[in-house]
Amino acid sequence: MPWATYWRKPGGYSVITNQSGMPIAQDGRTIGAFAQHERHSFTCCHCNRVTWIESGQHQDIGRCTCCDDLICNQCIGKPCVPMEKAMGTYELRMRELDKRIEALQDKQTNIEERLRVLRETLRTG
């Protein structure tokens, strides 16, 4: 399983400062009075989902053993299909379809051209 405690590549960063004298609840955790709360985030290389990591505590973060990048909990154990790769496959398929459409259009033009010549021949002949 691609599990690792990983801190090297935080994609985002946010600090919440509690300026009140009372602990506050924020996004499911409590921030003490006059305390600061830091968070980092990373973007999953497979699905582009953003995952927040609480600062100061090491968390288990998924890491793809195939493309060696960070992945979110939802993508752990799933095959490596990075977003870019998936997009690449999609683009290749689109290009292939474009080529086929072009070929069909060429054929169509050819047929029309032949018909035109035939009609011309019938008229003049």
- Nearest approach in angstroms of CB 104 to Zn ion is 37
Within 12-86, strands assigned E span: 12-17, 24-26, 29-31, 36-43, 50-54, 60-63, 70-71
Choosing from 33, 35, 50, 66, the residue that interacts with Zn ion (CB under 5 A) is 66
Does residue 46 interact with Zn ion by CB under 5 A? Answer: yes
Burial 89-116 (b: 16+ CB within 10 A, else e): eeeeeeeeeeeeeeeeeeeeeeeeeeee
**Applying CB under 5 A, which part among 11-19, 35-43, 63-71, 108-116 lies near Zn ion?**
63-71
Choosing from 31, 44, 61, 70, the residue that interacts with Zn ion (CB under 5 A) is 44
Does residue 64 interact with Zn ion by CB under 5 A? Answer: yes
